[in-house]
Structure 1
Amino acid sequence: MRVGRQRDLAARLLIGLLAVLCVGALLSQQLTWRVDTWVYDTLLSRFEQPADERIVIVAIDERSLSELGRWPWSRGVHAELVDRLQRAGARGIALNVVFAEPARDDPAGDALLALALAESGNTVLPVMAEPAEPGGMLIEVMPMPPLIEAAAGLGHVDAKIDHDGIARHTYLRAGLGSAHWPSLAVALLDTRAGTDADRALPGLRNPRRQHAAPYQWVRDHHIMVPFVPHGAFAQASYLDVLDGAVDDALLRDRWILVGVTAAGIDQGLLTPLTGGGPRLSATEYHANVLNALTTGQAIIPLSGLRQWLLSIALALLPLALYSERSPWRRPWIVSVLAAAATLLCCALLLRYGRYWFQPTPTLAVLAAGYLVWTLSRLRQSQRLAHSDALTRLANRRMFDLTLTRELKAAQRSGRQLSLLLVDVDHFKHYNDRYGHQAGDDVLRRIANVIGVHARRPRDLAARYGGDELTAILPETSAAAAAALAEAIIRDVRALGIPHLGSEIAPWITLTIGMATFDPKRESGPVDLVQRADAALYRGKHEGRDRSQRAADAATA
């Protein structure tokens, strides 16, 4: 019993170690990211996200472009818009338009915009990162100096795109060499807070943020954006706001994001909610980031350590639940429970904890573990169906199938095939004297001896019936079979199993009948069992405790 428990513990430890290694490999290599993102997108679409009513998008749409003329417009037009928003009492303004260089033919417009920004005191401008030349190093594209001085702040507009082309993530701070720029949404919030929001920012921290190369784009405060349905935010046309056609009540005490939504200029972004619908404009993307912060709904990916620990704990759950004596005796029930717990944990963390846990590595390990267990059980069942329960040797059915196969193989190859038929001398007397339990033990010990000698890959030791055991020996001559039979008889004698009811010796002895099929000398039907049985009968008649070779079929 103690040995069985030790083996069970060792097996569980080995399985647990393999599960840990598999989970670690899947997580470190991100091999399941496609399935994980599908799970995330599906769950996100099922959970309704609140939209902050204070967020308003002022859209540079097709109608505005048609009425106000060819893009880009004069900076004086944007100055008018900022003035209009400021008079309406806007809470803060994000003017998501890049003004990197002075307008060559409109210096007055640049001056008007700088003046409008300074007077508003709550307008932020974007910072972009792009290569100086195709394939070159990144540079930060910033507004021209007068606008930087006049703006209330600058924010980066970097959007992380996943391998499948969908924007799910953002970083609340980023910059070349260090994450010194807040995102556009954070910069907009800072105009109201008047403080550095870094200490209060949510998101997964970047452990390498302090050791980046000067020209490397560094990201920090990693969050996933819980997008709201398209059109959830109030939206007004740039032209209507400029003309005063929009009621001040829509703009008063609102976060205003101004940017291009026209398809010809803004290519848009794919999100988990867009599906086959229209792409999300960059301005609406930043509105969603702002909404995640103002509503406290930002989703934070689990840190590497937490992800690993939770994944491993759930992958090992079947080992903790499964026991032959527990209510969860069926491994498929344990596997289903562990998989359900993994998906439930993922959904609850996302919905209520606002954390994203990747479930697929755990699910993959659970599925692989159950598949391996199923194949193992099938193999074990097949082995049990072909084995004798008492001796653990092959059973009669397996013996018949193997003998038929090996006879055909011998006929094809022209090589000899030998058969041993083993009988325990006076076994009935042994059972009568010592009991059937002791008799079973004797058969097990003799079977072990035969198995030790018939150990080649194609050899088969089997229980023929009752106290008769047998061994099929492919590619074995009569002389080699005789030597093996004598070795078995000798080793059984050496066991010294007492048998006071024997008429031959005071210990257990064997009689073995041997028959050999030589395809080069024989043709026609072959009954190797009958020949071995005749040899066995003759051996018993001549005094037992010996091996007896059958007469060759060619001379019989």
Structure 2
Amino acid sequence: MTVTSVSRGRIEKTLISLGLIALSLMLVYTQWLQKWDHVIYDTHLKQWSHPAPDDIVIIAIDKKSLAKLGRWPWSRQVHARLIDILHQAGSKAVALNIIFSESDQSDHRADHILADALRQHGRVVLPVLPEQDQLHAQLTETLPIPILAAAAARLGHVDMELDEDGVNRHMFLKAGLGSAKWPQLAVAMLELEGINTTPSFNGHPPNPNLVNTWVRDYGALLPYAGPPGHFQRISYADVVLGNVPAETFRNKFVLVGATAAGLGDALPTPVSGFGQAMPGVEIQANILDSLRHNRSVQPLGLPWQFLLTGVLVLSSLFLYARLSPGGSLLVTAGLLALPLVFSIVLLREQHLWFPPSAALLGLGLSYPLWSWRRLVAATRSLLAQKERAQVTLHSIGDAVIATDAQGVVEYINPAAESLTGWTGKQAQGRAINTLFHVVNEQSREDITDPVSRCLQAGRSITYPDHSAVLSRDGSEERAIRATASPIRNQQGDVLGAVIVFNDVTETRRMAQQMEYQATHDALTELPNRILLQVQLQGAIERSIRSELQLVLLFVDLDRFKSVNDAFGHTIGDSLLKAAGMRLKDCSRKIDMVARFGGDEFVIVLENIHHEAQVTSIAAKVQKTLEQPYMIEERECFITASIGISLFPKDGQDAETLLKNADAAMYRAKEKGRNIAQYYSEEMNIHSKERLLLEHELRHAMERNQLVLHYQPQVDLKTGKVLAVEALLRWQHPHLGLIAPAEFISLAEETGLIVPIGQWVVQTATTQAKAWQTEGLPPLRVAINLSPRQFMEQRITGMIADILQRSGLEPCYLELEITENLIMKDLENAVATLQILKSMGVQLAIDDFGTGYSSLSNLKRFPIDRLKIDQSFVRDIATNPDDAAITLAIIAMARSMKLKVIAEGVETEEQLNYLKSHACDEMQGYYFSPPLPADKIAAILKAH
């Protein structure tokens, strides 16, 4: 190597180093990568959440409050009442995040009443904010009206700054027009407690040239405690209506503000999630929490950012100069983690933010640039000196062996040494087939020497797929991809051969793994639908050759959805795995068990001699699956509905057999579940009819084919109609009036029950209000909620919205729910019922006595009525058991101060019996069948 080449190499290294450092520092200064720094900061912030403190409470002006207290704005007497309640409760400090920039025009006394409440409390902070009436107009400070400003303990600004991506990450402890004179709202609250937060922040000296400019100072990054809803929220209406204990606010910071959509300010934050904003009052709670616990984050100063970034980038260049290419790659992987580590450590331990993107980019570019410089240097050396070819062969990753024309090894590079176990000295002079031992991975047979064929034919020979080279001692085997090519002189004569091969063991393993994942279910590790189709076709071909029967069992787990809904997907997944394992264990070795999807499995039975054998196997499967499952200390029970199809009787191909077995399974579920059902031809007809019915049901609402009939509910003491139950009917254009029993289950399965149920509630409440408008006595309208409808997360919001739109008072709406439905998810069901009850809606347990709720659970239900199932009423006068159950229900209701209504009353004998035992209300054909709305109106007018 000449002096000139050495000098040139040093110059290139220096230029690369200086260029990378200059680029990194420029990126730090210009903040061009700030978007990615925001992504890193936001990602870490989401992992850095902490529990919300117990002594910070948000009183939310939410949708519920607007529904109960009326349209916004409210009279300031309402706010005064709230301040008085908080004062009596002993709250520590209150931030009333509501703008009072104008007097209360609707109530001139209200401002004075509110001012008195503020003075009486003595620790209430009111907001200040900048406003601009028009584009390019002068900024103004919006303050509370003088009487309220004077009565408040402090004024605090609620100004927020959005970053260029529209996300709020910063807070400013002081701000104001012309000078930063107003403390932040949370700072003002802390000042009432004698806590001064500004000394630990860096501020700026006043600037007299900023008279008409909104000035922000003492800035910092805000480390949010958690996503929206993280802090304790209490509805404004609940507080002023006296539904919240005073202890809730004792010695606590209370922030009052809007959370209802469209009412208050809400900003995107790093922790909000996609498309979700955080109400301004909750941002103020986050600021208060961070300041009290010294969690606020200061951006690292620019000199320190320059220093850290420069050191990180320079360290990589320093190490590359002393390491091999392989070592450099490993070091690069480690170095790339350093900026993130520094950033996280500084953020968590020192509450300092170091933006790592510039350092990451500099480090990421350093390796390819350094490798490129090395490659250029290697190429120059290769062109300058022919003998350096061997050095190049030593440095490449591919294994290379060169032989002479007789197949005797002349050269072997380090990669080949590693794969064969032979060193260069040991290999030289040996025949290629003595050290390069290649076998077929699958058959284990030796592969005929391709090198000899290459030398004889004078052309390249590629080793077959699934080739593997054995090490010298046979202890290790590596999958390879290899080619033997002839070496020729200028005249074209074959001088030898070169074998180039590389290790593809890991690549082949990954390919096999991907193939397995494509054909097996990830949860149960059973064959999936793809592999089932392939293997089922093979089983059909074997059945044709053996002339023995092939059978499909299509297994569906009954009640799995109930377990999944009640206990969650984790337990549901564990149950599926356990069920799959049981199916595998109870099957023969020649049988195939596959997961078809969801809670459905398929078993392929081969070599079946008679149908009795199939029946026995199906019974064994059902018995195996119905044994209890103990999952995470919970005992779960399921059964199985099985559909059976036979080859060739029920189908000539895999698709038909699966379709028919599926149809048989659905027939088994219709018959009552936990049944094994053989396929028959009429099932296809039934399936087509069911599909047609489903299609027509999807259009029934838009075509106004759904109607409601109403059945009166009568007070036994007075004989008056107190209520009606809304009963759904389908007025089909060809089939006539269809009862709900024929289509409700289909609506449940397809999810149509949700829009249908919403239509029923809307129609029934609107009709009830219409009867009242006609001057008829107010009637309670009872509506039965389906399981799917009740489990909807927005059921309470839907009911509230419909009541508001219909104008019907909540006390005239009664929702009926079965006890089995409640017991599926007791805690969530009780919570939903309590919300509905708080709205004023009446609640009843339908079909009471047919479920399995205990008396202790029943006491938890905020219900008004028990509805005795008609199965007990039918034989009440002749069956002692039915009579005993009915009397027990009436007695239980009396003890719990609940009303009792008996349904299905059809005879005078039933009527007299129930009347003699003090049943409150009755419903049934004895009084009236279900009737259209106009006929109900006629009955009411007659009464």
Q: TM-score range by the shorter chain?
A: 0.5 to 0.7
Relative contact order, higher structure (CA 8 A, sep 6+): 1
Residue 96 of structure 1: aligned partner: 97
In structure 2, how many angstroms separate the alpha carbons of the residues matched to 1:362 and 1:211? Answer: 39
Q: Does 1:285 align with 2:283?
A: yes
Q: How high is the TM-score relative to the length of structure 1?
A: 0.65
The 1:314–1:207 alpha-carbon spacing in structure 2 relative to 1, beyond 3 Å, is: farther
In 2, are the aligned partners of 1:169 and 1:222 still within 8 Å (CA)?
yes
Q: Does 1:199 align with 2:199?
A: yes
1:477-504 Cα offsets, whole Å, 9 max, x none, are xxxxxxxxxxxxxxxxxxxxxxxxxxxx
SS at match of 1:159: coil
In structure 2, how many angstroms separate the alpha carbons of the residues matched to 1:335 and 1:208? Answer: 44
One-letter code aligned to 2:45: L
The 1:387–1:3 alpha-carbon spacing in structure 2 relative to 1, beyond 3 Å, is: closer
In structure 1, how many angstroms separate the alpha carbons of the residues matched to 2:147 and 2:289? Answer: 30
The 1:320–1:301 alpha-carbon spacing in structure 2 relative to 1, beyond 3 Å, is: same
1:282-321 Cα offsets, whole Å, 9 max, x none, are 1111111111112222222112222222222222221343
Q: Does 1:59 align with 2:60?
A: yes
Residue 134 of structure 2: aligned partner: 133
C-alpha deviation, 1:371, in angstroms: 2.4
1:347 maps to which of 325, 331, 344: 344
SS at match of 2:109: helix
C-alpha deviation, 1:99, in angstroms: 0.5
In 2, are the aligned partners of 1:88 and 1:251 still within 8 Å (CA)?
yes
Residue 337 of structure 1: aligned partner: 334
The 1:190–1:3 alpha-carbon spacing in structure 2 relative to 1, beyond 3 Å, is: farther
In structure 2, how many angstroms separate the alpha carbons of the residues matched to 1:381 and 1:136? Answer: 66
C-alpha deviation, 1:8, in angstroms: 7.4
In structure 2, how many angstroms separate the alpha carbons of the residues matched to 1:327 and 1:17? Answer: 22
Residue 377 of structure 2: aligned partner: 380
The 1:388–1:25 alpha-carbon spacing in structure 2 relative to 1, beyond 3 Å, is: same
Q: Does 1:356 align with 2:353?
A: yes
In structure 2, how many angstroms separate the alpha carbons of the residues matched to 1:174 and 1:2? Answer: 65
C-alpha deviation, 1:4, in angstroms: 9.5
Which stretch shows the higher mean deviation, 363-372 or 31-40? 363-372
Residue 20 of structure 1: aligned partner: 21
1:451-474 Cα offsets, whole Å, 9 max, x none, are xxxxxxxxxxxxxxxxxxxxxxxx
Residue 605 of structure 2: aligned partner: none
C-alpha deviation, 1:58, in angstroms: 0.3
> 1:266-281 counterparts in 2 under 5 A?
266=264, 268-276=266-274, 278-281=276-279
In structure 1, how many angstroms separate the alpha carbons of the residues matched to 2:319 and 2:372? Answer: 21
In 2, are the aligned partners of 1:322 and 1:329 still within 8 Å (CA)?
no
SS at match of 1:287: helix
Residue 630 of structure 2: aligned partner: none
C-alpha deviation, 1:137, in angstroms: 2.4
One-letter code aligned to 1:380: A
1:149-199 Cα offsets, whole Å, 9 max, x none, are 111111111111122221111111112222211111111111111x65432
1:244 maps to which of 242, 251, 254: 242
Residue 173 of structure 2: aligned partner: 172
In structure 1, how many angstroms separate the alpha carbons of the residues matched to 2:279 and 2:237? Answer: 18
In structure 1, how many angstroms separate the alpha carbons of the residues matched to 2:6 and 2:37? Answer: 38
C-alpha deviation, 1:118, in angstroms: 1.2
The 1:334–1:11 alpha-carbon spacing in structure 2 relative to 1, beyond 3 Å, is: farther
Q: How high is the TM-score relative to the length of structure 2?
A: 0.39
1:369 maps to which of 360, 366, 369: 366
Q: Does 1:144 align with 2:145?
A: yes
In 1, are the aligned partners of 2:52 and 2:232 still within 8 Å (CA)?
no
The 1:221–1:267 alpha-carbon spacing in structure 2 relative to 1, beyond 3 Å, is: closer
In 1, are the aligned partners of 2:95 and 2:255 still within 8 Å (CA)?
yes
Residue 311 of structure 2: aligned partner: 313
SS at match of 2:171: strand
Residue 470 of structure 1: aligned partner: none
In 2, are the aligned partners of 1:155 and 1:181 still within 8 Å (CA)?
yes
1:491-536 Cα offsets, whole Å, 9 max, x none, are xxxxxxxxxxxxxxxxxxxxxxxxxxxxxxxxxxxxxx9xxxxxxx
Residue 72 of structure 2: aligned partner: 71
Residue 159 of structure 1: aligned partner: 160
SS at match of 1:310: helix
One-letter code aligned to 2:156: G
One-letter code aligned to 1:366: L
C-alpha deviation, 1:348, in angstroms: 1.3
In 2, are the aligned partners of 1:209 and 1:218 still within 8 Å (CA)?
no
Percent of matched pairs sharing the same residue: 37
In structure 1, how many angstroms separate the alpha carbons of the residues matched to 2:76 and 2:220? Answer: 34
Residue 36 of structure 1: aligned partner: 37
Residue 213 of structure 2: aligned partner: 216
Residue 261 of structure 2: aligned partner: 263
One-letter code aligned to 1:116: A
One-letter code aligned to 2:379: Q
In 2, are the aligned partners of 1:321 and 1:328 still within 8 Å (CA)?
no
In 1, are the aligned partners of 2:316 and 2:366 still within 8 Å (CA)?
no
In structure 1, how many angstroms separate the alpha carbons of the residues matched to 2:319 and 2:374? Answer: 19
In 2, are the aligned partners of 1:121 and 1:151 still within 8 Å (CA)?
yes
In 2, are the aligned partners of 1:50 and 1:295 still within 8 Å (CA)?
no
C-alpha deviation, 1:85, in angstroms: 0.4
The 1:180–1:240 alpha-carbon spacing in structure 2 relative to 1, beyond 3 Å, is: same
1:105-146 Cα offsets, whole Å, 9 max, x none, are 322111111111111111001111121422222211111111
In 2, are the aligned partners of 1:222 and 1:301 still within 8 Å (CA)?
no
One-letter code aligned to 2:341: L
C-alpha deviation, 1:239, in angstroms: 0.9
In structure 2, how many angstroms separate the alpha carbons of the residues matched to 1:316 and 1:83? Answer: 64
SS at match of 1:93: strand
1:331-382 Cα offsets, whole Å, 9 max, x none, are 3333333221111111111222221110001111112222222322333333
Residue 300 of structure 1: aligned partner: 298
SS at match of 1:259: strand
SS at match of 1:275: coil
- CA RMSD, Structure 1 to Structure 2 (Å): 2.8
Total equivalences in the alignment: 388
In 2, are the aligned partners of 1:225 and 1:298 still within 8 Å (CA)?
yes
C-alpha deviation, 1:209, in angstroms: 5.3
Q: Does 1:230 align with 2:228?
A: yes
Residue 516 of structure 1: aligned partner: none
SS at match of 1:166: coil
Which stretch shows the higher mean deviation, 66-75 or 7-16? 7-16
In structure 2, how many angstroms separate the alpha carbons of the residues matched to 1:357 and 1:49? Answer: 22
In structure 2, how many angstroms separate the alpha carbons of the residues matched to 1:86 and 1:275? Answer: 36
C-alpha deviation, 1:207, in angstroms: 4.6
The 1:371–1:210 alpha-carbon spacing in structure 2 relative to 1, beyond 3 Å, is: farther
In 1, are the aligned partners of 2:169 and 2:221 still within 8 Å (CA)?
yes
More strand by share: 2
SS at match of 1:136: coil
In structure 2, how many angstroms separate the alpha carbons of the residues matched to 1:255 and 1:8? Answer: 67
One-letter code aligned to 2:52: A
The 1:54–1:243 alpha-carbon spacing in structure 2 relative to 1, beyond 3 Å, is: same
> 1:529-540 counterparts in 2 under 5 A?
none
Which stretch shows the higher mean deviation, 69-78 or 373-382? 373-382
> 1:508-527 counterparts in 2 under 5 A?
none
In structure 2, how many angstroms separate the alpha carbons of the residues matched to 1:8 and 1:173? Answer: 56
In structure 1, how many angstroms separate the alpha carbons of the residues matched to 2:181 and 2:5? Answer: 61
In 2, are the aligned partners of 1:185 and 1:286 still within 8 Å (CA)?
yes
In structure 1, how many angstroms separate the alpha carbons of the residues matched to 2:154 and 2:265? Answer: 26
The 1:91–1:371 alpha-carbon spacing in structure 2 relative to 1, beyond 3 Å, is: same
In structure 2, how many angstroms separate the alpha carbons of the residues matched to 1:32 and 1:212? Answer: 32
SS at match of 1:220: strand
One-letter code aligned to 1:223: A
Q: Which runs of 5+ in 1 are unaligned?
A: 392-528, 530-556
